[in-house]
Amino acid sequence: MALTVLGLSGALSHDASAALYVDGRLVAAAEEERFTRDKHARNTMPLQAARFCLSYGGISPQDVDVVAFPFAPVGLGSKARWHYAARYWYAPDRALDALFNGNRHYRRNVRRVRGLLQTLGIDWGRIQFDGVEHHLAHASSAYHLSGFEGRTAILGIDGKGEYATTFFGYGEGGQIHSIKQFYDPDSLGQLYASFTEYLGFEMLDGEYKVMGMAPYGDPDKYDLSRLIDFDGHDFRVNTRLVNTVGMRRYKEDGRGFYFSPGLIEWLGPRRVGDVADDPYVHYAASIQKTYEDISLGLIERYLKDIIVQGNGKLVFAGGGALNVKLNQKILNLPYVKELFVQPAASDAGTAVGAASYASWRRGVMPEKLHHVYLGPAYTNEQCIAACEAHAEQPRYEIVDDAAARAAEILHGGDPVAWCQGRMEFGPRALGGRSILGNPGHPGIADKINAQIKFRERWRPFCPSVLDTVAREMIQTDHPAPYMTITFEVSEQWRKRIPEVVHQDGTSRVQIVDEKTNPRYHALLTHMERLTGNGAVLNTSMNRRGEPMVCSPDDALNMFFGSDLQYLFLEDLLVTKAQS
């Protein structure tokens, strides 16, 4: 009998997703936001994502053996609850709640899961329910999917799970061992998120923007060490300034923030608008450096020996793992030889992690992750039907070679929307739901930012490159299939593809091989023939504030809501009707 495990996330009321494992093989995974068109799918459960996963896998509700969820009860004797209560002494309602009703969120989550399963037709009395501790789910999503053998160091950094915020451990023989954890409110992820709010961005979404802003500033111009104490072994966040709750929060127009009025008094008013200016660019640089320095110090303290014993292998998950600049610094450590960053490192990835852990716990080892093209795909016929039903009445033609045609348009200086095959799982567009440009064409990045993405002009774009040119471009053979690490770009390539090289000379590269995505690889091959550079500018197919597109309808709506002129829907080349 096959073991079928359905993983569900949404434990912390954001980034709901679903994943399906059958006998250790990850069959499907998708984020709820892509179906509901509500970014981060806040306060929802992954109903549409779960329906897709079951449908794609050909799994009926009666076939599901295990439902796994990334949240578990924490006993009163746990250090986590007592640490939380002690650190939140200034908010006694929260402190007492942690001690006397500390699993209230777990019970609420179980009720929500039961309601979802009832809607899906899955009998709660027949399945096994596996509540996996949140950071174990993150750890499993990285370790079990890395394909690394032997002793492997595991790092997890995020806002928080049940109570834990930071995880240091290792995996060996499939077993995950914890070495050290830190607990709320002592959270590196929440510190970065709090400062993200201060810099005028939304938590869960704006952390990328802070990271993109940081290279424009001087990290040494302002000393932010007052925010956090770190002695090389432990860290303690200053909750009089950040990671605040209750009456300590700064409030503006009735909205509470995760920082205090004291931060405003110290550093000045909260940033507003889209301009990256003084002093905020320097604050961004300083918080990025603070995050990097403490993370690297903790790796040195708790994981260095494990990494050395494991021949240089480290895996990383949690929302903090999406900080690609930190990942570059980790990879530059002399004892780190290979770094696997879970491509869906945020809480969306905990659906995969909970399911993979539940599978392993039942004696079925999860397979190595080979790609993240795990969402829906659409046929030419479905794309034609979407075009013919759309209110804007788009023009379309079926082309013999979509990759060659797209490369010709890109070579001419126009961007294209590229909607092909199965949708990616995770935050990065990797050639399934992408907007593409010619990275050697001057001004293409500004054009896409201003006319298509409608986002801040200073945010960088990233390249997808042929596996045959990657070594020459980024000067390393390290794998980079998921855009999770930045690399130094060689001087020669900085001149050849300047539109995808950031202010600091780095680039968040996706290396494309033919086996994983043959059509995208073919497009890059055509680009190399036309331009001499086997690379394209690649950004997610969405407008500012929206989720990445999923269906042909989504793609058409985005197409007509921007200045894009060319959209490839499978074999269809879609253009706008001439007025």
Instruction: Give the residue numbers marked as catalytic.
Output: 14
Question: Token pair for residue 20?
Answer: 């399906």
Other C-beta atoms lying within 10 Å of the C-beta of residue 305: 14
Question: Which own/partner contact pairs does 85-88 have at CB distance under 8 Å and 24+ positions apart?
Answer: 87/183, 87/184, 87/185, 87/186, 87/239, 88/185, 88/245
Residue with tokens 């992690």: 353
Instruction: Give the closest residue to 414 by CA, choosing from 543, 537, 544, 541.
Output: 537
Instruction: Give the closest residue to 46 by CA, choosing from 6, 82, 78.
Output: 6
Other C-beta atoms lying within 10 Å of the C-beta of residue 284: 26
- What's the residue count for the chain? 579
Quick one: 579 exposed, middle or buried, by C-beta within 10 A (0-12, 13-18, 19+)? exposed
Phi–psi pair at 29, nearest 5 degrees = -160, 140
CA pair distance 19, 26, nearest whole angstrom: 7
Other C-beta atoms lying within 10 Å of the C-beta of residue 334: 6
Quick one: 412 exposed, middle or buried, by C-beta within 10 A (0-12, 13-18, 19+)? exposed
Cis amide bond preceding 279, omega within 30: yes
Instruction: Give the closest residue to 508 by CA, choosing from 540, 533, 484.
Output: 484
CA pair distance 326, 323, nearest whole angstrom: 6
Residue with tokens 């200045």: 563
DSSP 514-559: TTT-HHHHHHHHHHHHHHS--EEEEEES--TTSPPP-SHHHHHHHH
> Quick one: which H or E segment has residue 25?
strand 25-31
CA pair distance 522, 504, nearest whole angstrom: 30
Coil vs helix vs strand at 511:
strand
Report whether 71 contacts 108 (CB < 8 A): no
Q: What is the DSSP-derived secondary structure letter of residue 453? A: I
CA pair distance 503, 27, nearest whole angstrom: 39
Quick one: 53 exposed, middle or buried, by C-beta within 10 A (0-12, 13-18, 19+)? buried
Other C-beta atoms lying within 10 Å of the C-beta of residue 104: 11
**Identity (one letter) of the amino acid at 534?**
G
CA pair distance 376, 399, nearest whole angstrom: 22
CA pair distance 153, 142, nearest whole angstrom: 10
Task: Tell me the Cα Rg of the chain.
Answer: 23
Residue with tokens 């929307």: 417
Instruction: Give the closest residue to 428 by CA, choosing from 525, 566, 500, 324.
Output: 324
Report whether 497 contacts 416 (CB < 8 A): no
Coil vs helix vs strand at 427:
coil
